[in-house]
Amino acid sequence: MFHNSAAIRQFFKVALGVAVLTGIEIAVYALIGRFSADVLLGALFGMVVSCANFLALTVTVSRAADRAEDGGDPMKARAAVQGSSVLRLLVLAGIYVLVLKCTSLDPLAAVLPLIFVQISISLMEFFRKDGEKNGSKRS
């Protein structure tokens, strides 16, 4: 079981940001008159996939850092993170190839949430209080 509470808090903050940005995406589609069930399904699908991808990244990096910190080989930890990155990229590519072939999902609405993860992280860092670092307060 994964027990790094700081990483879990970070994930939930990013997931909340992705959900808010996905809501804005859906609202923009509605405002320009392009909203449909395909857009809604695509946006929700993209939100779930992007959050799952970020969760996998969070868990992998946190576990690798814990192993390296506990006396493990830092090079093995680095290799684990790099291997996970390649695997996640291949899985995402496969998922989105299927999305492009699926006619019941809007492809653009499904792809945009992948960008929302980075935007959420950037916004969190921009609005981070001066006394905080990486989601926790300094002592």
Instruction: Profile the chain (139 residues) by mean pLDDT over runs of 10 residues.
Output: 78 96 98 96 96 93 83 82 93 91 90 96 88 52
**Chain CA centroid to CA 68, Å:** 24
Stated pTM of the model: 0.84
**Chain CA centroid to CA 49, Å:** 8
Q: Rounded to whole angstroms, how far apart are CA atoms 47 and 84? A: 20
Residue 137, pLDDT score: 45
Contact by Cβ (8 Å): 40, 110: no
